[in-house]
Structure 1
Amino acid sequence: MQSSTVSAQEPAVAQPAPIRRLLSLDTLRGFDMFWIMGGEEIFHVLAKTTGWAWAIFLADQFTHVDWNGFRPYDCIFPLFLFLAGVSTPYSLGSRLAKGDSRSMLARKVITRGLLLVLLGIIYNNGLFNKPIAEMRFGSVLGRIGLAGMFAQLIYLYVQRERARYGIFAGILLLYWALLMLVPVPGYGAGNLTMEGSLVGYVDRLFMPGRLYKVVHDPEGLLSTLPAIGTGLLGVFAGTILRQHGVRDAQKLRQLVLMGVACVVLGWVWNVVFPVNKNLWTSSFVLVAGGWSLLMLSLFYWIIDMQNIRRWTFFFIVIGMNSILIYLAERIIDFEHTAHFLFNGILHFFSEPVQAVGAIVAFLAVKWGFLYFLYKKNTFLRV
């Protein structure tokens, strides 16, 4: 990993960030990352300090479902993985068209995937701060690294698009079969509780260190399998958008139809295989992926088709350094900086204004940091 100054050349193959010809992708990535970096706290603070019904409702939507079910906030993480998949036909496809070998591209993809796993471990535990038994090895970055890596390898080596769709369907059906048919000692087959699922059992057997929820890790081993499907959905969307000789309206129609079909099929499947983010169930892949497709469709229509772009800059600054700001939260005390700069001003306002203002100041400091890097043409390359 290195910080580099981005020139006008094509972005590195393994980097799912800036793709200039598809502004909606960088904007949507930045929009997604805005909530990850703390944007949802605005609604939580408003709900707590004012008691307004609409604020309470929105704050609830920006929380994860305890187990089965789905809220908008459950889409934040899979959307990021989906967008990494969308960039694949642009980055890898352009390199293949230039004559780069698949083996060379595969090495870069694998290196990036494993590096993200390593960064995820460091993000969770720091450097040499804990004994292995106390470390958590599952991570958001690890899930993005491994699932994105396998999705990209499928794109590289499975050249027929119909075969890729077949692999996608096979992954979801295989995962369903594993969870419903393979018995777990003491719980039997088909148990989808945190303690009794095959996902948690595999994590307890094979994952070193500690699990995030003691008996289960939401970024564990077995649930990486369906996450590959999330990455592949992004690959399918990117392939549609990269089609040559196809009108934008036709591309948009394909994305919308695919998104609606995924959401509907996912909720139908929910009847026998619940939508569950912790288990990353096949039905969850479809529901979260469907909404990701629909959000991409909306951003593509507004930005790339209607050319309404002035509002995008705020999110592009975030989206072009999304992994950097995620990692920086562990190293830089943005909250302390925001308090130092703005607390004196906020002190003159009422408690609700102070609380919301503190969150806005915190986000402003983060954005200012990213803007400085943007102006310097400096982006984190993984």
Structure 2
Amino acid sequence: MKRLQSVDTLRGLTIIAMILVNNPGTWSSVYPPLLHAEWHGLTPTDLIFPFFLFIVGISIALAYKNQTPSKATYKKIVIRSIKLIGLGLFINIFTPNFPFIEELETLRIPGVLQRIGIVFFVSSILFLNLTVKNIASVITLLLISYFLFTGFIHLPNGAYPSFENNLNNWSNYIDYTILGKHMWRNTFDPEGLLSTIPSIVTCLLGIIAGKILTYKNSSYKKEHLLFFFAVSLISLGYIWSIWYPINKTIWTGSFVLITAGWASLALSITYYVNDIKNITLSKKLTYVSKNAITIYFLSMVIAKVFYITKINNNETIHSWLFDTFFNNYFQITELASLLYALSVVSFYLLLSYILFKKNIFFKV
């Protein structure tokens, strides 16, 4: 089976979106669609991380479709998972007081790459050992169990769990109890421990989409199946959201279904454009996809270095660049902030292109 350009395009778009929303000129002035929902709800930014996990699932289905469980295969999966977790922890080390050791007392343990590593590990093992029907059963079991546990089991302090704040719910209670000071915020972490379980489901749904792409059907049939899969997930998700709010931090079941549905819809579109109609222009985005994790990792490390490195008493590299080249020329701060983010995206697009042309690919 030839390499699917649609998957590379979708991965490239997702990485570009990640870099865009993570690098505004100033966090105090950002257009609302480029921010996460404060609690319940869904913005375009909330789609990005589940999209990437969904794509991880697709990649697992394509990469391991002819693999059988073996010691060598498990070893590769474990090594890759450890690399992802290690890179994520390395990003978290960069704090305002870096490299002083006392920062380890409050070092954030969870993170985006850490979650990707865990999700990849679990999902790969399940894919190698279960049929598609069994994976669908696991998806159903995990979503229902997570809903019942987080929605109806009393907390140890006797409080009834609630989805209405970040205090009285199991996801944040477990994170605070186990991680303590090693969280993103004092009361919650968007990549916490318990919410990693439903994020695995996001990846498993991606595996099902990947299996659709490997079926011996016509290309149009596959595209139609992906579209039907998308509409089904989105519909189920919005119906469930009546009782189970859409929430990224807790990674609720409705959030899982809706975001996976939009990801499947995006895949059906890129599959139609790239692999059916073979429109060349869109394939330029695959440059980013070839070094997706590397580009994301570099963008996070460089951004943190720019935030913590001072060039004088009042400015860091980041603030100086923003004020000098953007904020001083535009009356609308949100526009200046967006243009800064777009310039960062442009830099990494150029870097991706150079790496691609020089045939340099970093395997993580």
Partner in structure 1 of residue 55 of structure 2 = 83
Q: Distance in 2 between matches of 1:261 and 1:373?
A: 39
Structure 1 segment 196-345 matched on structure 2, within 5 A: 196-207=168-179, 209-244=181-216, 246-313=217-284, 315-332=285-302
Structure 1 segment 67-216 matched on structure 2, within 5 A: 67-94=39-66, 96=67, 101-126=69-94, 129-131=100-102, 132-158=104-130, 160-186=131-157, 188-192=159-163, 193-207=165-179, 209-216=181-188
Partner in structure 2 of residue 25 of structure 1 = 7
Residue pair 2:175, 2:193 contacting (<8 A) in 1 also = yes
Residue pair 2:202, 2:260 contacting (<8 A) in 1 also = yes
Residue pair 1:267, 1:287 contacting (<8 A) in 2 also = yes
- TM-score scaled to structure 2, two decimals? 0.85
1:77 Cα deviation from its structure 2 partner? 0.5
Q: Give the 3 Å change call, closer, same or farther, for CA 317–170 of structure 1 in structure 2.
A: same
Q: Give the 3 Å change call, closer, same or farther, for CA 367–180 of structure 1 in structure 2.
A: same
| Letter aligned with residue 40 of structure 2 | N
Q: Give the 3 Å change call, closer, same or farther, for CA 69–347 of structure 1 in structure 2.
A: closer
Give CA deviations for 1:133-173 in whole Å, capped at 9, x if unaligned.
Answer: 21100100011111121111110111x22111001111101
Residue pair 1:137, 1:209 contacting (<8 A) in 2 also = no
Give CA deviations for 1:322-351 in whole Å, capped at 9, x if unaligned.
Answer: 2111111244469769x98xx78x899766
1:210 Cα deviation from its structure 2 partner? 2.1
| Letter aligned with residue 324 of structure 1 | T
1:103 Cα deviation from its structure 2 partner? 3.1
Q: Distance in 1 between matches of 2:70 and 2:235?
A: 36
Give CA deviations for 1:198-235 in whole Å, capped at 9, x if unaligned.
Answer: 01111112126421121111111111110110000110
Q: Distance in 1 between matches of 2:175 and 2:3?
A: 41
3-state DSSP class of the match of 1:363?
helix
3-state DSSP class of the match of 1:219?
coil
Residue pair 1:226, 1:282 contacting (<8 A) in 2 also = yes
Q: Give the 3 Å change call, closer, same or farther, for CA 355–323 of structure 1 in structure 2.
A: same
The percent of aligned pairs where both chains have the same amino acid is 27
Partner in structure 1 of residue 309 of structure 2 = none
Partner in structure 1 of residue 36 of structure 2 = 64
| Letter aligned with residue 176 of structure 1 | F
Residue pair 2:198, 2:253 contacting (<8 A) in 1 also = yes
Q: Give the 3 Å change call, closer, same or farther, for CA 81–130 of structure 1 in structure 2.
A: farther
Q: Distance in 1 between matches of 2:337 and 2:191?
A: 32
Q: Distance in 2 between matches of 1:207 and 1:299?
A: 40
Q: Distance in 2 between matches of 1:228 and 1:133?
A: 29
Q: Distance in 1 between matches of 2:197 and 2:336?
A: 44
Question: Which one is further off, 167-176 or 107-116?
Answer: 107-116
Q: Distance in 2 between matches of 1:141 and 1:302?
A: 30
Residue pair 1:85, 1:233 contacting (<8 A) in 2 also = yes
Q: Any gaps of 5 or more consecutive residues in structure 1?
A: 1-18, 49-55
| Letter aligned with residue 365 of structure 1 | F
Residue pair 1:92, 1:105 contacting (<8 A) in 2 also = no
1:274 Cα deviation from its structure 2 partner? 0.9
| Letter aligned with residue 273 of structure 1 | Y
Partner in structure 1 of residue 17 of structure 2 = 35
Residue pair 2:327, 2:337 contacting (<8 A) in 1 also = no
Residue pair 2:81, 2:117 contacting (<8 A) in 1 also = yes
Question: Which one is further off, 372-381 or 207-216?
Answer: 207-216
Give CA deviations for 1:335-379 in whole Å, capped at 9, x if unaligned.
Answer: 769x98xx78x8997666976654443332222222221111112
Q: Distance in 1 between matches of 2:42 and 2:73?
A: 36
Partner in structure 2 of residue 10 of structure 1 = none
Partner in structure 2 of residue 363 of structure 1 = 345
1:194 Cα deviation from its structure 2 partner? 0.4
Q: Distance in 1 between matches of 2:109 and 2:327?
A: 42
| Letter aligned with residue 83 of structure 1 | I
Q: Give the 3 Å change call, closer, same or farther, for CA 368–39 of structure 1 in structure 2.
A: farther
- TM-score scaled to structure 1, two decimals? 0.81
Residue pair 1:30, 1:322 contacting (<8 A) in 2 also = yes
Count of aligned pairs? 343
